[in-house]
Amino acid sequence: MSARHFDDNQSVWLAGKKPYTASPPLAGKLDVDVAIIGGGFTGVSTAYHLNARFPNKAVAILEARTLANGASGRNGGQMLNWVHGVDPEEPERARQIYDATQDGIDTVLSIIAEHGLDVPHDQSGHVDMFTDSKNADAAAEAAERWERAGLPVRFLEPKELGSLIAFDNTHGGLFDPRAGYLDGAAFLRELKPVLERRGVQIFENSVVSRIREGRVVELETEGGSVRADAIVLATNAYTPHLGYFRSGIVPVHSHVLATEPADPTTWSGLGFPRGLGFTDDRDRLSYGTLIGAPGTSRRLIFGGGSNEAYDYRFGNGTRYEHPSENAARANRRQLLSYFPSLRDVEISHRWSGAVALTLSRLCTMGVRGAHRNVYYAVGYSGHGVTLANLAGKILTDIYSDADERWRALPFFQQRLRYIPPEPFRFVGYHAYTRLVGRSPRAS
């Protein structure tokens, strides 16, 4: 049995990694063309694409702790198509959105292949599973329209669904064969030397404490300062701490657990013959991802399913130090409600991370500021593995004035819906969640 990782709040992705040497923090003065704040998917993908397009520009990443410290190294791993917060009716609109996110997945896969990165991942598919018959009927209708638009997504009746994943009491599921999972911590840390070889400067343990906008933007960290022609806010749930998107993003702690590795018969007995991921259709949605190579011992990552699992704390939105016992119990209860036979499989890891929730669940990507030199991509609302990796391509296109392709997408320069400040936010969130049984949402 492997060690339990309950107290240090380390994700299964980070706990299993070989020892990591952080790059030195920023010391002294630095002048760059673009300074990127945050070393998650958004920051690293932006550095990657900017550098590929403009190899002679000086690009630096400033990361508060180490690469993958944030949600990118703490998530459920699901690399999904679609954009959270958007339900496209029109087949052409659906095709446009699906193709954009498929571009995100393809880009991740091609980066892994091109640089020979050692990154656990797969593309064995994903099921959106319906516990509500009305949701299932609507999804079946949508899938027919999407099929006519040439999308590979199919609605599977409960009987057909059983060949992929076995749930009791399901009304069917939407199967997307082109989704999969990604070990985000491995992806970012394997990409680091590639970026450094190409001249991107990476400073870890470098918290940006102040941003002064201007034609040249000035940043401060404890040990140094940066002057940059442009900056990128790649800080997702942490962005309000920097003074941006305070009324658009609520940082919510999302709690996850991982089982000990279990042999293939455990999972095929549960009805995971192909080892794919799933989500359900509840407001506090549950999700599960089977990770590891088929035919070997694999782990299930499982999260969500209750208010406790999506935990909003007053004034403490992005600290990780105290994953809650309540959340862990609630996660396990929900896990066993789906898979009672997992009762004897040990939980080896549990952790939490900060999700940047927006009121409509839609993220936003664009550029702002009097000098149009503050780029941002934030607010993925728990669905950012694909989109935050795509963000680098989109921000590079905006930076290059070549963004026509993205302008019609729903998140492009999207104005986030207003969320009141504390203490109204805290009181409103908890009152609504308790009374209505759902989290506040507006389209």
Ligand X SMILES: Cc1cc2nc3c(=O)[nH]c(=O)nc-3n(C[C@H](O)[C@H](O)[C@H](O)COP(=O)(O)OP(=O)(O)OC[C@H]3O[C@@H](n4cnc5c(N)ncnc54)[C@H](O)[C@@H]3O)c2cc1C
Q: Which residues bind ligand X (CB under 6 A)?
A: 37-43, 62-65, 69-72, 74-78, 80, 207-208, 234-238, 242, 254, 256, 287, 303, 353-355, 380, 382-386, 388
* Closer by beta carbon to ligand X, 145 or else 441: 441
Report the nearest approach of ligand X to the CB of residue 123 (Å): 14
Indicate the burial class of 126 (C-beta count within 10 angstroms; 0-12, 13-18, 19 or more).
buried
Residue 300: partners with Cβ closer than 8 Å, 6 or more residues away: 258, 259, 262, 267, 288, 289, 290, 291, 335, 342, 345
**188 and 204 Cβ atoms separated by less than 8 Å:** no
- What element of type H or E holds 52? helix 41-53
**41 and 188 Cβ atoms separated by less than 8 Å:** yes
Report the nearest approach of ligand X to the CB of residue 159 (Å): 27
| The two structure tokens encoding residue 357 | 């929730």
DSSP per-residue string spanning 161-172? HTTT---TT---
Report the nearest approach of ligand X to the CB of residue 148 (Å): 27
Classified as helix, coil or strand, 281 is coil
Report the nearest approach of ligand X to the CB of residue 22 (Å): 12
* Closer by beta carbon to ligand X, 92 or else 165: 165
- Strand segments, DSSP code E, in 63-178 are 78-79, 121-122, 126-129, 154-156, 173-176
Report the nearest approach of ligand X to the CB of residue 299 (Å): 14
Are β-strands 277-279 and 250-259 bridged in parallel, bridged antiparallel, or unpaired?
unpaired
* Closer by beta carbon to ligand X, 171 or else 383: 383
* Closer by beta carbon to ligand X, 78 or else 307: 78
Residue of minimal CB distance from ligand X?
Answer: 384
* Closer by beta carbon to ligand X, 70 or else 172: 70
Report the nearest approach of ligand X to the CB of residue 187 (Å): 11
Query: How many angstroms separate the first and last alpha carbons of the chain?
Result: 46
Name the H helices within 310-365: 325-338
**156 and 172 Cβ atoms separated by less than 8 Å:** yes
Report the nearest approach of ligand X to the CB of residue 326 (Å): 16
Report the nearest approach of ligand X to the CB of residue 387 (Å): 7
Report the nearest approach of ligand X to the CB of residue 220 (Å): 10
In 3D space, the residue among 364, 358, 361, 442 whose CA is nearest the CA of residue 410 turns out to be: 364
| The two structure tokens encoding residue 147 | 């099929």
Write down the number of H helices and E strands in the chain. 11, 20
* Closer by beta carbon to ligand X, 177 or else 265: 177
* Closer by beta carbon to ligand X, 107 or else 235: 235
In residues, how long is the chain?
Answer: 443
